[in-house]
Amino acid sequence: NGPAALLRVHGLRAGYGPARVLHGVDLELAAGEMVAVLGPNGAGKTTMLRALSGLVRGRGSVLLDGTELLGRAPEEIVRLGVAHVPEGRGLFAPLTVEENLRIGAHLRPAAERAEDMRRVLAWFPVLRAHLSQPAGSLSGGEQQMLAVGRALMTRPRLLLLDEPSRGLAPVATRRMFDVLRAVGSHDRVAMLLVEQDARLALEFTSRALVMESGRLTVGGPAGWPQAGRRPSLFRPGR
């Protein structure tokens, strides 16, 4: 295992009651790295993100910079630097854009929230124009940006994104991925994103993994890696 890994997942198992979904997931992610998880419906991609952020109970080991996350409450995991943009975004539609962003900041030191807000609005200038509008009145693309912006308000080291392109027009999707890539490289935020659109995932991420029946493997369709990209190899845990 390389010393540079921010996230080290080893033998992660999780499920719902008696239904076992994850059967031993191994994964390493470096700071600033953007990795896609592809795979068929029901394979366990969402469950993996939920286990990493404490929303479902996991067994095995999930180390963030050496700190074990399993067994901790979701709020504590956010505090340690993991933010989750769930499927369906999880916005509060009747609340304004600004209120939604402030909710993302409630765990941050009060003295730093104004700066957090400034940074997020710099990444997503379109949100500034809509600060006092209800989140539910935004377009799909803007709502997705708001969901990512709210997650970034927590100043994460690791951002988990569940199908960020879902329901978005191609132009909005590309804009979103451009920003994600910029945030990742500028702020060294690692990103693990579930994505149905394999072409998009492979274009924007440094490597892609495939989840099948609760296990992760190296992957990508034929032709990948693209010219000019040198994906790092997936290193299974020991």
Which residues bind to ligand ATP, rule: CB under 6 A? 16, 19, 21, 39, 41-47
Q: Which is nearer to ligand ATP, 199 or 229 (CB)?
A: 199
Rg for the chain, CA atoms, rounded = 17
CB atoms within 10 A of CB 92: 13
Q: Which is nearer to ligand ATP, 100 or 205 (CB)?
A: 205
44 vs 23: CA distance, rounded Å: 9
Q: Which is nearer to ligand ATP, 42 or 221 (CB)?
A: 42
- On the CB side of 1, CA atoms within 13 Å amount to 18
70 vs 57: CA distance, rounded Å: 7
Q: Which is nearer to ligand ATP, 38 or 121 (CB)?
A: 38
Q: What is the DSSP string of 183-206?
A: HHHHH--EEEEE-S-HHHHHHHSS
**In the complex, minimum distance from the CB of residue 20 to ligand ATP, in angstroms, rounded to a whole number:** 9
**In the complex, minimum distance from the CB of residue 198 to ligand ATP, in angstroms, rounded to a whole number:** 13
**In the complex, minimum distance from the CB of residue 114 to ligand ATP, in angstroms, rounded to a whole number:** 36
**In the complex, minimum distance from the CB of residue 173 to ligand ATP, in angstroms, rounded to a whole number:** 17
Nearest alpha-carbon partner for 144 in 114, 117, 171, 118: 171
Evaluate whether 37 touches 46 at the Cβ level (below 8 Å): no
CB atoms within 10 A of CB 123: 17
**In the complex, minimum distance from the CB of residue 87 to ligand ATP, in angstroms, rounded to a whole number:** 7
Q: Which is nearer to ligand ATP, 44 or 54 (CB)?
A: 44
